[in-house]
Structure 1
């Protein structure tokens, strides 16, 4: 439940759970088992969707004495519950721009929120941070083919690689396009902000 957006009125974690005895399993080769989960639907009607899932990790005993890296296999089972009024539009809001670490390097994190209970799919992000003045410094982040979950936030990282941001005034420009999940309607948002470093 850590980091849930405050707009999530009914998180999946409050109405659904995997049976406690099924949370850690020990399986032999070619062995299968059935995992049981229970979801208690909310008593009150809700709009849009409640979205979440269960994350499974297979811990492999594949580390040897001369290895420093080992890997585990993970996958997720998604759960989506439809509300009585399902036809809700996603909405993007600009939340903040803050210094972050991205791949252990200095970066600016542009946080956007979707406070509505609907998925935005086929998302294309384009974010630019540029320094005003004669010695302009322009950085770009672009990604396509993403989705934004209902009642969630996303942080776009603009890397400064190994450099420090110089003091000055910066212009933040973000364009996001995507499709509403339920009717495939194209949607777009543009945000322009100014910040001082």
Structure 2
């Protein structure tokens, strides 16, 4: 035995330990499919032709057809699934234009998916292009602000492996094209936020206090900062404070802001949430909301933290055992070498 053998043994142990991580990273690469592209065919009422989305100025009750050109440069036929969605806001303050499980806000009168209609799926032959037509029917009643949403294109390619095997379907990335519809000057619309309430729900296995807000106007709220302070009811000392910045909200959408409680020293009792929202344009909203934590709820909040600490301790012991075995293996090889 020599030093090379000892190093080789250590490297083998480390490789076996890290191999699952490396193989997972490699598998993630097979989702990429090239050969698909799209082009927005802007109509005459497009406000800005330098952007990568539709921004259409229209009139109440007006009808129009808008078009997208899609191209397949691969040698296989390609199916493209088409889906239209209204814009929503997730809990991280990010606007989602694609399909999601986020709920619609009560202030959303006109869903883009209900006034813009198109095919659910098209087939693009190999090395060719197609034009997708969408029929747009504006609401009969005048509205202020935007109707916002997106068109999702999800290409799927079928590859023939052999006559005896079935076609293999490989999913690719989805492409999103934003759609903004408006009838008048957006700058004249005054923003308004509404506090719907607070609730305690499970998120990623942890009990979390959610602050639910609605943007009830048809405009985007940009660069928002949310500050939430929690204190015992009737007292001024803050138990903890949460600040989130660079948030955005879609027109007529809601946001569920999470306040994680599992790492806080919180017990049963009555509490007050002081909520403040500010924007880059100087708009400011504040609310005071009381809520109660029962003994059962307070105990449930602590349990995930205890379990997490136990899992972290188990992981540390596991790593310590691996390192100890590696060291013992190296020492054993060294002793055998010395005896020989």
Please, what TM-score do these two structures have when normalized by structure 2? 0.46
Cα distance in 2, alignment partners of residues 133 and 188 from structure 1: 24
Bigger mean CA deviation after superposition, 109-118 or 165-174? 165-174
What is the CA-CA distance between 1:7 and the residue it aligns to?
1.3
Native 8 Å contact 2:144 2:183 kept in 1:
yes
- For the residue of structure 1 that corresponds to 2:132, the secondary structure is coil
Cα distance in 1, alignment partners of residues 205 and 268 from structure 2: 21
Counterparts of residues 1-197 of structure 1 (less than 5 Å): 3-17=103-117, 19-20=118-119, 23-25=120-122, 33-57=130-154, 73-84=173-184, 86=186, 87-132=188-233, 138-161=239-262, 166-179=267-280, 185-197=281-293
- Residues 105 and 47 of structure 1: CA distance in aligned 2, closer, same or farther (over 3 Å): same
Cα distance in 1, alignment partners of residues 269 and 157 from structure 2: 50
Aligned-CA RMSD value: 3.3
Native 8 Å contact 1:96 1:112 kept in 2:
yes
- Residues 140 and 14 of structure 1: CA distance in aligned 2, closer, same or farther (over 3 Å): same
- Residues 104 and 137 of structure 1: CA distance in aligned 2, closer, same or farther (over 3 Å): farther
What is the CA-CA distance between 1:163 and the residue it aligns to?
7.5
Cα distance in 2, alignment partners of residues 123 and 85 from structure 1: 22
Native 8 Å contact 2:229 2:238 kept in 1:
no
- Residues 146 and 25 of structure 1: CA distance in aligned 2, closer, same or farther (over 3 Å): farther
Bigger mean CA deviation after superposition, 2-11 or 113-122? 2-11
**Structure 1 segments unaligned to the other structure (5+ residues):** 62-70, 180-184
Native 8 Å contact 1:54 1:78 kept in 2:
yes
- Residues 141 and 77 of structure 1: CA distance in aligned 2, closer, same or farther (over 3 Å): farther
- Residues 35 and 158 of structure 1: CA distance in aligned 2, closer, same or farther (over 3 Å): same
Please, what TM-score do these two structures have when normalized by structure 1? 0.74
User: Aligned residue pairs: how many?
Assistant: 180
What is the CA-CA distance between 1:38 and the residue it aligns to?
2.2
The structure whose residues are more often helix, as a share, is 2
Native 8 Å contact 2:233 2:290 kept in 1:
no
- Residues 30 and 137 of structure 1: CA distance in aligned 2, closer, same or farther (over 3 Å): farther
Native 8 Å contact 1:106 1:163 kept in 2:
no
What is the CA-CA distance between 1:31 and the residue it aligns to?
6.4
String of CA shifts for 1:41-75, please: whole Å, max 9, x gaps.
222221111111123445699xxxxxxxxx95234
Q: Which residue of 2 aligns with 1:67?
A: none
Cα distance in 2, alignment partners of residues 39 and 141 from structure 1: 43
